[in-house]
Amino acid sequence: MSEAGTRGQTLLAARRVVVKVGSSSVSGDNAGQIPVLVDSLARLRAAGAEVILVSSGAIATGVPFLNIDARPDDLATQQAAAAVGQNILVNRYQRALSSHDLVAGQVLLTAHDMENPTHRGNARRALERLLALGTVPIINENDTVATHEIRFGDNDRLAALVARLVEADQLVLLSDIDALYTAPPEVVGAERIASVPYGDPLDGVRIGESQSGWGTGGAATKVQAARLAADAGTTVLLTEARLLAAVLDGADHGTLFGAASR
């Protein structure tokens, strides 16, 4: 059986999956993708996997409700937008989850929480209990209290740390890019990289930065996050949010990062 043919099957056979989705995939004109994403999460759940969602998008979701035209530059306004947007974002997820008789459990974290042993232990126990109770934990950075000094910087890293925390066997990084390429996708001659063996330094690969006006993480942060998770034994799939359903059907999309043996 080919690697491509097993990606969806491996996800559906997983014990525990962490899925991260970027701001541009679930906010603005793409807010309608939330029910489609939730359908795939429900499919993973129905197949027997425990699922944790790490979702960006609070600031991008909140900004229109504050009559702001662009992403704010100052931290206080970003925090205000996140306070409004987080409530709306989770509500949208819950409406979609309700159609599958699933319940969301909101968890907000800062980098400090993951670095502090006591906070980290509390977060792990809370997540384990939420999963045991059959909920779908939805995690985001706690933007309303996080300062520049204690931020993760992007939710790709947060997702990798969560995957390590709960010992997930699969991490899926979803954005508006379908895969990792040998150069930024808009560059003529750039070729998709279907798989990255564990430990591959990706020599000669030109990795771009974020192209989104809302997201803070580009391909570079996703590769760093993939390596962080892979080091702990978690296999990582990087692909576009709208392609997850097709991957579960067996389609060959995305870039698969091999993991260290546990």
In the annotated binding site for substrate, the residues are: 56, 143, 155
| Rounded distance between C-alpha atoms, residue 241 and residue 65, angstroms | 25
Classify the C-alpha dihedral 76-78-80-82 as positive or negative: negative
Residue 71 vs residues 32, 40, 167, 230: alpha-carbon distances, Å: 20, 29, 34, 32
Return the structure tokens found at 132. 């045991």
| Rounded distance between C-alpha atoms, residue 175 and residue 77, angstroms | 25
CB 221 within 8 A of CB 160: no
Type of residue numbered 202: L
Residues making up the binding site: 20, 56, 143, 155, 175-176
The pairing of strands 170-175 and 235-240 is parallel
Which residues are within 8 A (CB) of 33 and not within 5 positions of it... i.e. 6 or more apart? 25, 26, 241, 242
CB 173 within 8 A of CB 21: no
- Burial class, 50, CB count within 10 angstroms (exposed 0-12 / middle 13-18 / buried 19+): buried
Residues making up the binding site for ATP: 20, 175-176
Phi, psi of 147 (to 5 degrees): -95, 175
